[in-house]
């Protein structure tokens, strides 16, 4: 837990970022989790994943932009990604981050950027997922999501099971008929005043949120959970639940990250479950990479060994 928090706080350090991204070995190791720096490489990764029977969601790496021009560049990168997905006929959503599109610069400014993306995707029959960032953005992200849902239905959001508030958020979104939600454990460092400190409690809450969304009344109101985890124990509990409750296979999906547990991704897809892979690309891979190291000490050891062997 301590190591996780240290790595997560380092993920915000500009100094370390400058140091790490300049190291060829770091770039090489990061490629385990990142499809490449260019859109062409990302599209090739989606093609490979689709060919194996898995769906995708493409994420152009970037967060916490501090200038309007960077936010607009992020928006344009997503429009370009959507165009490429459509013209290659790929089975892929896109996943965006609000701080990448100017949330820190103003809610209306951010909304305009996101709306351009969502409208563009809607015209092309594509879906946009809004990733969830740290807890200082939770309410603003949900507000912006609700505002979008007044005009668009090709957009969904993410809820993090480690937050105490998530149960009430999921309940409200189900009630409002807009529960198109990716459920995950949560990847940021949050204090015990707002988030479960114990892994077991996070896991139990994640399952509780899944059960809420898979209940027949919730599904009747349009709830559709994307269960985003690599945790074998959670996946088997979900599999048992859907089997016993006869939940149709198209009422939910599993999601995993590019480069993490590829064997499990393939196995679930081969067994007929909907499986979507989150595929990030771009040059701003440092904070994303650090969060992946924080999730698993073995990844950090692998990285440190690669650094020493350089």
What's the closest the beta carbon of residue 217 comes to ligand FDA, in angstroms? Answer: 26
> Among 230, 237, 239, 274, which residue interacts with ligand FDA (rule: CB under 6 A)?
230
> Among 185, 214, 268, 284, which residue interacts with ligand FDA (rule: CB under 6 A)?
185
> Among 8, 46, 96, 132, which residue interacts with ligand FDA (rule: CB under 6 A)?
132
Closest C-alpha among 92, 91, 67, 66 to residue 78: 92
Which residue's CB is nearer to ligand FDA, number 28 or number 220?
28
Residue with tokens 């999501």: 145
- Tokens (6 digits) for 264: 């499990």
Task: Output the CA–CA distances (angstroms, integers) from residue 230 to 22, 26, 43, 130, 235, in the order listed.
Answer: 30, 24, 23, 20, 8
What's the closest the beta carbon of residue 157 comes to ligand FDA, in angstroms? Answer: 9
DSSP notation for 103-164: GGG-HHHHHHHHHHHHHHHHHTT--EEE----GGGHHHHHHHHHHHHTT-SSEEEEEETTBT
| Residue 299 contacts ligand FDA per CB under 6 A | yes
**Residues known to be catalytic:** 131, 182
Residue with tokens 């149709």: 248
Residue with tokens 């198109």: 180
Which residue's CB is nearer to ligand FDA, number 67 or number 240?
240
> Among 36, 186, 225, 280, which residue interacts with ligand FDA (rule: CB under 6 A)?
186
> Among 63, 131, 190, 253, which residue interacts with ligand FDA (rule: CB under 6 A)?
131
Q: What is the CA radius of gyration of the chain?
A: 19
| Residue 93 contacts ligand FDA per CB under 6 A | no
- For residue 16, give the H/E element and its range: helix 14-21
| Residue 262 contacts ligand FDA per CB under 6 A | no
Which residue's CB is nearer to ligand FDA, number 7 or number 43?
7
In DSSP terms, 163 is beta-bridged to 195
Q: Which of residues 135-164 bind ligand FDA (CB under 6 A)?
A: 158, 160
Instruction: Choose one: 3-11, 43-51, 210-218, 228-236; the region binding ligand FDA (CB under 6 A).
Output: 228-236
Q: Are 71 and 284 in contact (CB under 8 A)?
A: no
3-class state of residue 51 by DSSP: helix
Measured at the CA of 58, the angle between CA 291 and CA 293, to 5 degrees, comes to 15
What's the closest the beta carbon of residue 22 comes to ligand FDA, in angstroms? Answer: 23
Measured at the CA of 271, the angle between CA 268 and CA 274, to 5 degrees, comes to 55
| Residue 231 contacts ligand FDA per CB under 6 A | yes
Instruction: Choose one: 61-69, 101-109, 140-148, 227-235; the region binding ligand FDA (CB under 6 A).
Output: 227-235
Which residue's CB is nearer to ligand FDA, number 9 or number 67?
9
What's the closest the beta carbon of residue 281 comes to ligand FDA, in angstroms? Answer: 15
Q: Is 37 exposed, middle or buried (0-12, 13-18, 19+ CB in 10 A)?
A: middle
Total chain residues near ligand FDA (CB under 6 A) = 24
Q: Which residues bind ligand FDA (CB under 6 A)?
A: 131-132, 158, 160, 182, 184-188, 228-231, 255-257, 260-261, 278, 292, 295-296, 299
């Amino acid at each position: 837990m301590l190591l996780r928090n240290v790595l997560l706080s380092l993920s915000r350090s500009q100094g370390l970022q400058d140091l790490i991204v300049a190291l060829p070995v770091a770039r090489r190791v990061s490629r385990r989790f990142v499809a490449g720096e260019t859109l062409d490489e990302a599209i090739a990764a989606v093609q490979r994943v689709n060919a194996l029977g898995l769906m995708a969601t493409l994420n152009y790496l970037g967060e916490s932009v501090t200038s309007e021009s960077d936010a607009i560049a992020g928006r344009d990168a997503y429009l370009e990604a959507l165009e490429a997905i459509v013209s290659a006929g790929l089975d892929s959503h896109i996943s965006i981050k609000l701080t990448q599109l100017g949330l820190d610069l103003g809610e209306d400014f951010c909304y305009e950027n996101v709306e351009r993306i969502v409208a563009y995707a809607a015209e092309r029959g594509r879906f946009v997922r809004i990733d969830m960032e740290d807890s200082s953005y939770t309410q603003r992200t949900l507000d912006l999501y609700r505002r979008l849902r007044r005009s668009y239905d090709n957009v969904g959001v993410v809820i993090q099971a480690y937050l105490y508030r998530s149960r009430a958020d999921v309940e409200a979104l189900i009630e409002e008929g807009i529960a198109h939600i990716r459920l995950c454990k949560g990847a940021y460092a949050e204090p015990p005043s707002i988030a479960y400190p114990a892994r077991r409690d996070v896991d139990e809450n994640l399952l509780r949120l899944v059960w809420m969304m898979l209940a027949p009344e919730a599904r009747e109101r349009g709830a559709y959970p994307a269960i985003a985890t690599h945790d074998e124990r959670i996946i088997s509990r979900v599999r048992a639940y859907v089997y016993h409750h006869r939940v149709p296979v198209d009422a939910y999906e599993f999601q995993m990250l590019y480069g993490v547990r590829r064997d499990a991704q393939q196995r679930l897809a081969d067994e007929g479950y909907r499986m979507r892979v989150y595929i990030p690309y771009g040059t701003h891979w440092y904070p994303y990479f650090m969060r992946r190291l924080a999730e698993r000490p073995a990844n950090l050891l692998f990285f440190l060994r690669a650094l020493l062997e350089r």
